């Protein structure tokens, strides 16, 4: 019989085909892998085991029995996701899947092991699942966690003895990254819920500014092959910022808003300042003539007062995580979403590359505590006092903030990153998130074949995998060799920019307003239904009819969600408020039917009352924006007629 198709494939090829869906890069790497391998041995029961570094990695008698005991331990802890450090021969993975623990992330630190195992053992059933991710890159795992693991989900890391003993450094690094990625996902939920409404407030208030100022992609490819210096406000900025002064005409200086005043102290006026603060922070500016020399690159959700500042010019950038922006981006005359890693310097990298700059050089990007400081001197922090408690993994930061009468004290979790010299440096969750984003971005650049160079010339702090590390003096010496006609480049870019489409904008705003009115009505009716159920429950307790009544509520919720799902903004507004509802549904504490009913009624009532409040708050914003845009359109039409 002639074997065809999948059957005739080698085991390696079958595994690679299964891997392709989730990790095509690894599949390609395995297909072309020509490095050393390991020798697989037969255990006494006929299955595979192997030795690496003179150590057995599975039982030489019965590896499956061994894995069964491990799986029992894992399943007993009821995790949502299992993160395995080490694939081994895949017994644990296969058994986890067999036991319906389908969400598994595996990092294999050794390519020799991975290549040999996938060459000889068919793991296609497990590897082909959407929820199984195998990688030989730590950053790949961190990226997968950030993008696929809900911050509310539990994540259990598991490793067997041989992997722990053979790869201790990798394990430590891996554990930190997994922990950091998961914390980032958890923090994202909190930030999202906390920030959502102020973002919408700001966006709606900034509509006029989006019409008046160009989108940042007006500068796309305008600085081709010119070096950009992205300036963060880390403590190491003090080491080299002064060098920029004499190179100002030969580089494009893009600074985080927090680095603006410190740079001025070194006699350097940046060309661009990036800001995305949702609250007004005038303390970042000098309120002098110098402010008028810089151009602002502002997020659409920045506080309106930032757009009102007297600067040389302003550019707007839009974010894909703001659903208003995803719906209206083209209306504003933009087709660029900044890839945001949570900080303005991460956004700066993406913008610098979009501008065509090469290389992109970072300074002041420490991403860790240096000498008891979080920021360079001269900014908004007059003084800082840090206490690092390694035993309890916390950092206490007491800060003398420029606008506060008294010192501000807060405690944050202590996390660790790899430093420039390879040793661990103390960090915190937001920096760790930025760091992970940078490393993911570097991997992305390689995969996309982007040839622009990215250099970390911070001269201190965290090591960023994928970037070249050198001094600023060296980077300037090598790349800042020609004068840049910055003003004329910007002027011509602004002249040629796309403008906002007002009729389309008004139509979009009206649709959103109508959607909000629908949500308001449904939320009100849902509350009425719940009110009726509560009265009935008070009268006759939990009756079968009452339980059946909950179906009505579910049907109404479904209608509400179906309608809003079609409009990203409405969906986002709604989902931000249904978080508690989702948390409740996840909660599997044993409750009696009565307790369950009471809790459900309470959560639904609270959720939809908040949703109604949200619509009451947002509707006037839309009414005002529609009114303003209609007037602009009318005056524009009048101007044209004249």
Q: Which residues bind other proteins (CB under 8 A)?
A: 54-61, 66, 69-70, 73, 159-165
Instruction: Closer to other proteins by CB, 60 or 525: give it.
Output: 60
Instruction: Closer to other proteins by CB, 74 or 611: give it.
Output: 74
Minimum CB separation of residue 106 from other proteins in Å reads: 15
Q: How far is CA 579 from its chain centroid?
A: 19
Peptide bond connecting 359 to the previous residue in cis, omega within 30 degrees of 0: yes
Minimum CB separation of residue 45 from other proteins in Å reads: 11
The structure tokens 């600085």 sit at 223
Minimum CB separation of residue 165 from other proteins in Å reads: 5
Q: What is the H or E stretch that residue 582 is in?
A: helix 579-586
Minimum CB separation of residue 73 from other proteins in Å reads: 6
Minimum CB separation of residue 179 from other proteins in Å reads: 17
Minimum CB separation of residue 117 from other proteins in Å reads: 16
How many angstroms separate the Cα of 335 from the Cα of each of 159, 247, 301, 358, 400?
A: 45, 32, 17, 22, 41
Neighbour count for residue 63 (Cβ, 10 Å): 23
Q: How far is CA 151 from its chain centroid?
A: 12
The pair of three-digit structure tokens given for residue 571, joined into one six-digit string: 């969906």
- Is the separation of the CB atoms in 135 and 141 below 8 Å? yes
Instruction: Closer to other proteins by CB, 1 or 69: give it.
Output: 69
The pair of three-digit structure tokens given for residue 348, joined into one six-digit string: 């700066």
- Find all residues with CB under 8 Å of 527, minimum gap 6, and list them: 605, 608, 609, 612
How many angstroms separate the Cα of 256 from the Cα of each of 36, 275, 541, 570?
A: 46, 7, 60, 32
Minimum CB separation of residue 171 from other proteins in Å reads: 10
Minimum CB separation of residue 120 from other proteins in Å reads: 19
Minimum CB separation of residue 57 from other proteins in Å reads: 7
How many angstroms separate the Cα of 637 from the Cα of each of 628, 631, 641?
A: 14, 10, 6
Instruction: Closer to other proteins by CB, 94 or 459: give it.
Output: 94
Distance CA 486, CA 493 (A): 11
How many angstroms separate the Cα of 392 from the Cα of each of 410, 413, 431?
A: 15, 9, 19
- Is the separation of the CB atoms in 230 and 248 below 8 Å? no
- For 228, the 3-state DSSP assignment is strand
- For 231, the 3-state DSSP assignment is strand
Instruction: Closer to other proteins by CB, 57 or 174: give it.
Output: 57
């Amino acid at each position: 019989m002639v074997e065809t198709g999948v059957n005739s494939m080698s085991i390696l090829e079958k595994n690679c085909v299964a891997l392709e869906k989730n990790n095509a890069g690894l599949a390609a790497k395995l297909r072309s892998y020509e490095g050393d391998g390991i020798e697989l041995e037969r255990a006494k029961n006929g299955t595979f085991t192997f030795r690496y570094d003179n150590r057995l990695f599975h039982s030489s008698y019965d590896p499956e029995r061994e894995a069964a005991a491990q799986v029992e331990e894992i399943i007993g802890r009821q995790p949502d996701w299992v993160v395995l450090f080490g694939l081994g021969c895949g017994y644990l993975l296969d058994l986890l899947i067999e036991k319906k623990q389908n969400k598994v992330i595996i990092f294999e630190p050794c390519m020799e092991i991975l290549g040999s195992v996938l060459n000889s053992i068919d793991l296609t059933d497990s590897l082909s699942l959407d929820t199984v991710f195998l990688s030989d890159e730590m950053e790949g795992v961190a990226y997968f966690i950030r993008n696929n693991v809900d911050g509310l989900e539990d994540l259990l890391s598991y490793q067997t003895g041989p992997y722990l003993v053979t790869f201790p450094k990798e394990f430590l690094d891996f554990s930190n990254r997994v922990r950091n990625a998961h914390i980032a996902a958890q923090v994202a939920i909190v930030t999202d819920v906390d920030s959502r409404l102020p973002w919408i407030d700001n966006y709606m208030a900034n509509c006029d500014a989006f019409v008046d100022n160009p989108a940042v992609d007006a500068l796309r490819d305008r600085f081709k092959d010119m070096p950009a210096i992205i300036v963060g406000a880390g403590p190491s900025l003090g080491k080299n910022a002064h060098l920029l002064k004499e190179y100002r005409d030969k580089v494009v200086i893009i600074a985080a808003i927090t680095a603006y005043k410190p740079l001025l102290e070194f006699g350097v006026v940046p060309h661009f300042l990036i800001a995305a603060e949702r609250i007004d922070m005038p303390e970042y500016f000098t309120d002098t003539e110098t402010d008028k020399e810089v151009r602002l690159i502002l997020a659409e959700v920045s506080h309106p007062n930032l757009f009102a500042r007297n600067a040389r010019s302003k550019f707007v950038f839009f974010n894909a995580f703001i659903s208003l922006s995803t719906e209206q981006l083209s209306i504003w005359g933009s087709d660029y979403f900044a890839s945001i890693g949570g900080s303005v310097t991460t956004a700066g990298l993406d913008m610098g590359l979009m501008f065509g700059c090469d290389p992109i050089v970072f300074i002041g990007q420490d991403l860790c505590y240096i000498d008891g400081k979080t920021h360079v001197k001269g900014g908004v922090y007059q003084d800082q006092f840090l206490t690092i408690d390694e035993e309890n993994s916390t950092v206490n930061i007491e800060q003398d903030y420029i606008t506060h009468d008294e010192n501000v004290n807060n405690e944050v979790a202590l996390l660790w990153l790899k430093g420039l010299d390879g040793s661990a440096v103390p960090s915190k969750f937001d920096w760790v998130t930025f760091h992970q984003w940078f490393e993911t971005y570097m991997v992305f650049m390689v995969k996309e074949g982007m040839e622009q160079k990215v250099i970390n010339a911070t001269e201190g702090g965290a090591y960023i995998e994928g970037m070249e590390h050198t001094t600023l003096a060296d980077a300037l010496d090598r790349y800042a060799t020609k004068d840049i006609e910055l003003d004329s480049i910007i002027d011509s870019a602004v002249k040629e920019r796309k403008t906002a489409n007002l009729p389309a904008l008004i139509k979009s705003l009206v649709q959103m307003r109508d959607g909000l009115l629908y949500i308001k009505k449904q939320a009100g009716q849902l509350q009425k239904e719940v009110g009726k159920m509560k009265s009935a429950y008070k009268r006759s307790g939990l009756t079968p009819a009452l339980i059946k009544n909950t179906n009505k509520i579910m049907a109404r919720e479904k209608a509400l969600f179906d309608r809003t799902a079609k409009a990203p903004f409405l969906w986002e507004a709604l989902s931000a408020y249904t978080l508690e509802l989702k948390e409740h549904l996840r909660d599997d504490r044993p409750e009696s039917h009565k307790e369950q009913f009471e809790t459900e009624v309470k959560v639904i009532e609270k959720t939809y009352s908040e949703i109604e409040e949200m619509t009451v708050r947002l509707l006037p914003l839309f009414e005002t924006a529609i009114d303003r845009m209609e007037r602009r359109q009318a005056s524009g039409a009048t101007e044209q007629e004249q």
